[in-house]
């Protein structure tokens, strides 16, 4: 025989249910008997389940619940130096209905910041006083330490990393601009000592660029002990299509002593560079680069060949150096008589 009391009741009820129609009886009478038997069965089945729940809900159960900690008001000139746990793990013993209510709606456990050490077991027991037939058997952690320090605010630069991929022949004509470029960070003194900049973890990635860039970037804060003054910033950058140009520039010697004369072979360098289309015609009347060799480099050389340095002097243009030829030149030193 089954050990399940509900199944036993069900089996007994089914034994009284009449199936089919006896010989000589009217079909309508048989259908009526069947309907009445079904109603009796359903009614008895509901009562049996209700009784089973009534008996079992009065039993004693054990359950573990995560209850959130609620930190009390902190004075305006102070701040926490260490993270407090977000939840406290509480083991409870009691009847079913109160435990179900606590599981679905766990109460918050207050933490008094005026005390340097808080006994969470006592705090939980006080919260459970309003719940009858429930006892607290275990609390983890049982103690938390509350450390407070003076609160300060510091303004630091924002660092945002980006990875831009442009369409062929397109590129930036100036450095991207972040606005605002700094942020105010507030926290305990010990927490703020190492805050020298605010780094945005996610790299801004954009591909297929051929138009000006205008993006809004979210600023996240993963440290609950610090607060920041901004939650987003904007990044803008000017983009242009580039074309190639070249210029021949004579080589000069820097820091040349009196009485010395250096000649080079060849005497000039051909520089190839990219220039924005809108600046191409304007730069045709200028020599945007200077080419020179520091005299120190000649003194240190033992091969008779040096690589010139190239410097952009037309800084108002967004030029990008592509290449220069030749890579090294011969030099000859002539002493004036």
My answer on whether 289 and 315 are in the same domain is yes
My answer on whether 138 and 71 are in the same domain is yes
My answer on whether 163 and 232 are in the same domain is yes
Q: Which of 93, 126, 146 is the last residue of a domain?
A: 146
Q: Which of 129, 146, 163 is the last residue of a domain?
A: 146
pLDDT at 37: 66
Taking the C-alpha atoms of residue 204 and residue 237, their distance in angstroms, rounded to an integer, is 13
pLDDT at 263: 93
My answer on whether 253 and 320 are in the same domain is yes
My answer on whether 315 and 250 are in the same domain is yes
Domain span holding position 179: 150-237
Please tell me the total count of domains within the chain: 4
DSSP category for residue 140: E
Of the pLDDT bands very low, low, confident and very high (cuts 50, 70, 90), residue 303 is very high
- E strand or H helix at 10: helix 5-16
39 vs 211, more confident: 211
My answer on whether 134 and 156 are in the same domain is no
What one-character-per-residue DSSP string does 269-327 give? EEEEEEEEHHHHHHHTTS--EEEEEEHHHHHH-SSSEEPPEEEE--TTS--EEEEEE-S
User: CATH number for the domain including 203?
Assistant: 2.170.120.40
Range from 13-17, 42-46, 55-59 that averages highest in pLDDT: 42-46
User: In this structure, is the dihedral angle defined by the CA atoms of residues 24, 28, 34 and 40, taken in order, positive or negative?
Assistant: negative
Residue 36 in tokens:
């009445």
Average pLDDT over residues 123-144: 86
Check: CB of residue 111 under 8 Å from CB of residue 90: no
Q: Rg (Cα) of the chain, in Å, rounded?
A: 42
Give residue-wise pLDDT tens across range 260-280: 889 999 999 999 999 999 999
With a cut of 70, say whether residue 190 has pLDDT above it. yes
Taking the C-alpha atoms of residue 233 and residue 176, their distance in angstroms, rounded to an integer, is 13
My answer on whether 43 and 69 are in the same domain is no
With a cut of 70, say whether residue 28 has pLDDT above it. no
Taking the C-alpha atoms of residue 66 and residue 89, their distance in angstroms, rounded to an integer, is 5
Q: Which of 95, 111, 146 is the last residue of a domain?
A: 146
Check: CB of residue 271 under 8 Å from CB of residue 255: no
Residue 2, burial from CB neighbour count under 10 angstroms (0-12, 13-18, 19+) = exposed
**Residue with the two structure tokens 């000589």:** 24
- E strand or H helix at 224: none
DSSP category for residue 197: -
Per DSSP, the three-state class of 96 is helix
Give residue-wise pLDDT tens across range 89-131: 999 888 877 888 888 888 888 888 888 888 888 888 888 888 7
What one-character-per-residue DSSP string does 252-265 give? EEESPPTTEEEEEE
Range from 15-29, 131-145, 288-302 that averages highest in pLDDT: 288-302
My answer on whether 248 and 327 are in the same domain is yes
Mean pLDDT of the chain: 86
My answer on whether 139 and 202 are in the same domain is no
């Amino acid at each position: 025989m089954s050990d399940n009391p509900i199944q036993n009741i069900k089996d007994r009820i089914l034994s009284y249910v009449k199936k089919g129609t006896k010989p000589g009886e009217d079909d309508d009478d048989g259908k009526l008997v069947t309907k009445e038997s079904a109603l009796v069965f359903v009614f008895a089945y509901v009562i049996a389940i209700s009784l089973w729940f009534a008996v079992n809900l009065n039993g004693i159960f054990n359950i573990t619940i995560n209850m959130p900690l609620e930190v009390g008001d902190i004075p305006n000139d102070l701040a926490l130096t260490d993270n407090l746990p977000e939840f406290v793990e509480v083991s409870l013993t009691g009847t079913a209905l109160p435990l179900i209510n606590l599981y679905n709606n766990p109460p918050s456990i207050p933490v008094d910041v005026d005390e340097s050490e808080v006994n969470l077991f006592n705090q939980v027991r006080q919260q459970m006083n309003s719940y009858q037939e429930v006892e607290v058997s275990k609390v983890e952690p049982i103690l938390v330490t509350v450390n407070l320090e003076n609160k300060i605010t510091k303004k630091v630069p924002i660092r945002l990393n980006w990875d831009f991929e442009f369409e062929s022949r397109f590129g930036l004509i100036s450095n991207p601009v972040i606005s605002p470029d700094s942020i105010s960070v507030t926290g305990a003194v010990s927490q703020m000592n190492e805050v020298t900049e605010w780094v945005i973890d996610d790299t801004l990635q954009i591909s297929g660029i051929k138009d000006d860039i205008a993006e809004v970037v979210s600023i996240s804060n993963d440290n609950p002990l610090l607060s920041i003054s901004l939650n987003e910033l904007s990044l803008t950058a000017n983009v242009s299509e580039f074309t190639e140009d070249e210029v021949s520039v004579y080589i000069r010697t820097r820091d040349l002593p009196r009485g010395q004369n250096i000649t080079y072979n060849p005497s000039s360098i051909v520089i190839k560079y990219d220039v924005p289309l809108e600046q191409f015609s304007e730069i045709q009347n200028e020599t945007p680069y200077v080419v020179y060799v520091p005299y120190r480099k000649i003194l240190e050389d033992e091969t008779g060949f040096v690589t010139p340095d190239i410097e952009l002097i037309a800084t108002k243009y967004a030029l990008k150096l592509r290449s220069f030829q030749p890579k090294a030149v011969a030099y000859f030193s002539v002493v004036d008589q």
